[in-house]
Each structure stands twice: as C-alpha cells, then as structure tokens.
Amino acid sequence: MILEDIYYGKWRPSEQIKSTDPESQKVNQKICDLMEMLKNKLSAVDFEQIEVMFDLLSESTSLYSAAAFTHGYRTGALTMIEVFSSEKE
C-alpha cells in the first residue's frame, strides 16, 4: 500500500523514474565517455575530485527533485481543494 510505503520511508519516487527519452540515453553516454577520458588523462587525485563533485551534484539534484515533488504535490492538493470547494458554490 502506498500510504504504508510512505510512512515507512519505502516510497522513493526519484528512484522509480526511468527516462525513455532517447536524448537522455545519449547524454548519459556522453557523460560516461567523458568520465572515462578524464580518468585516463588526469591524475588519480584530480579524478577523485571530479568524482566528489559529481556526488555533490547528484545530492543537489536529489534535493531539488524532492522540493519539486513537494511543490507539485501541494499544488495538486490545492487544486483538488479548489475543485471541491467550487462544487459547493
């Protein structure tokens, strides 16, 4: 049940989203290719700093996604309140 999953922290929408857009796959492949090139070109220390930066970027994106999800959910709920309030008028 979705309510139990939310309660127990098992529901993570960001982990369930898989892009089917071919452009997304192309971008991800370009990232992988560039990372491989940098791994071969840079020192281990420099490449590790890039990996740290990517981890931080991923964390930032996750925080933004959570805020966007919350905003969207609230907007949807407010829309439903307005719809049902209009029925009484």
Asked if residue 55 has pLDDT above 90, the reply is yes
Distance CA 66, CA 61 (A): 9
Measured distance CA(72)–CA(66) in Å, rounded: 10
Rounded Cα distance, 3 and 5, in Å: 5
pTM metric for this prediction: 0.65
Give the length of the chain. 89
Q: 19 pLDDT exceeds 90? A: no
Q: Would you list the DSSP string of 48-86?
A: HHHHHHHHHHHHHHHHHHHHHHHHHHHHHHHHHHHHHHH
Q: Does residue 13 or residue 51 have the better pLDDT?
A: 51
